[in-house]
Amino acid sequence: MTERVTGVTLRAVNYKDSDRILTVFTLEKGKITVSAKGVRKANAKMKQISEPFCFAESMIAEKSGRFTVTEINSFDAFYPIRTDLYKYYSGMTALELTDVFLPDALESAGQFVLLVEFLKKLAYKSINPLNLLLKFIYDALNENGYSINLASCGRCGSLIENRVFLSVKDGCCVCEECKKQGENGFSIDTYDYLNKIQSGDLQDFNQENAKNGLKFFAYYLSKVAGVSLKCLTTLIDL
Ligand SMILES: [Zn+2]
């Protein structure tokens, strides 16, 4: 049986002499594993789909629960993402996060749209890639059941000033009066920066605050989801 799917290639692993095994996040079937035959040959027609970031419509054939791609129509390979290290690792972090968050075959139109829109902006808009990634992670947490409330103190609702603490358990930031034992404080500058980002204001860029924001999310992800992202660590160390 052959089906048409629209997807983004998250990951590709070489297989045999000229094949690749792909992890593709599709709109119709969620995350699936697909083999792409002959794509490492010089003039392979379906080469594009075997590269991460490729956004394409493809025909896949199913045989005993395994998929093989037979035809592709590439919409966008988001080439400019590969021309800058910050763009590249921001993009790779988004792919890796999508890969670890979504179990196989779980449809998520919300996450799909989020990812494609993020890749478009990363490739073609002049917005700092770290700011774009912070917004993507914030939205992806929301989409996948790990939302974090940054707007005000999660316990008393008042605005947080001067000192801020993170409650991993409750998925919120809290003020000094509401802080419980074991809830660690973090920089108010980082907090203010993340708040601006989550509200959609991505224009002002500050390298130190952005990197601290990424560290904040790396810590939060490790605590709430037990997830550690290799590409995010590389990006923070750039
Ligand atoms: Zn409070």
H or E stretch at 107? none
Which CATH fold would you assign to the domain 2-76? OB fold (Dihydrolipoamide Acetyltransferase, E2P) (2.40.50)
Mean pLDDT of 91-111: 95
Q: What's the pLDDT at 200?
A: 94
What's the count of helices (H) and strands (E) in the chain, helices before strands?
Answer: 6, 8
Instruction: Give backbone dihedrals phi and psi of 158, rounded to 5 degrees, phi first.
Output: -80, 160
CATH class name, domain 80-237: mainly alpha
Ligand 1 centre and the CA of 225: distance in Å? 25
What single-letter amino acid sits at 204?
A: D
| pLDDT, tens digit (0-9, with 9 covering 90-100), for 45-94 | 899 999 999 999 999 999 988 999 999 999 999 999 999 999 999 999 99
Ligand 1 centre and the CA of 217: distance in Å? 21
Whether 221 and 203 have beta carbons less than 8 Å apart is answered as: no
| pLDDT, tens digit (0-9, with 9 covering 90-100), for 158-178 | 999 999 999 999 999 999 999
Ligand 1 centre and the CA of 155: distance in Å? 5
Ligand 1 centre and the CA of 175: distance in Å? 4
Domain residue limits, the chain: 2-76, 80-237
The pTM of this model reads 0.95
Q: What is the mean pLDDT of the chain?
A: 95
DSSP state string for 204-217: ---HHHHHHHHHHH
Mean pLDDT of 18-33: 96
